[in-house]
Amino acid sequence: MSWQEYSVFLLESIGIYNRDLMLHYYRKIKKFMLWHKTKNNIQLKDIPDTAELKLENQKKVISWRRIARAIEKNDFYLRRLSFAQTKNDDRELMQLIHKWDNLLNKKTRTDDKTLQKVIQKNYG
């Protein structure tokens, strides 16, 4: 399976259980690809499966592996794709938490310190 196929597989798998979360990732990944199309003239069909790992880790190149890894890590804000946390993302996260309270709530375990802060702020 290529990294592109794996990225699509991950998104579709998330969508089976939580369509809202899948659409969140989809919108942000689409914005990521559009940025690279505009700034670097990289079309969807030209996105490489992998790039030099050092450059990927420095967030200097686009690759399907980078996208897949961000989804794998449940990187809600997609920092691995150079996004920053926004108030809109926080609102969307809180809507997801309230909608899916049985799966994501103040008892949710996560290594993401920012996600922990948002949950703590809203659940005290």
Residue 124 pLDDT grade (very low, low, confident, very high; cuts 50, 70, 90): low
- pLDDT of 116: 74
Give domain limits for the chain.
1-83, 85-124
Q: Which residues contact 23 (CB under 8 A, 6 or more apart)?
A: 15
Matching residue, tokens 């899948």: 22
> Over 70: is that where the pLDDT of 43 sits?
yes
Instruction: Give CA–CA dist 64/85, Å, rounded.
Output: 22
- Summarised one tens digit per residue, pLDDT across range 54-100 is 999 999 999 999 999 999 988 889 999 999 988 998 888 888 877 77
**Checking phi first, is residue 59 left (phi over 0); if not, alpha (psi -120 to 50) or beta?**
left
The vertex-29 CA angle with 102 and 44, nearest 5°, equals 145
41 pLDDT above the threshold of 70:
yes
State residue 101's pLDDT score.
66
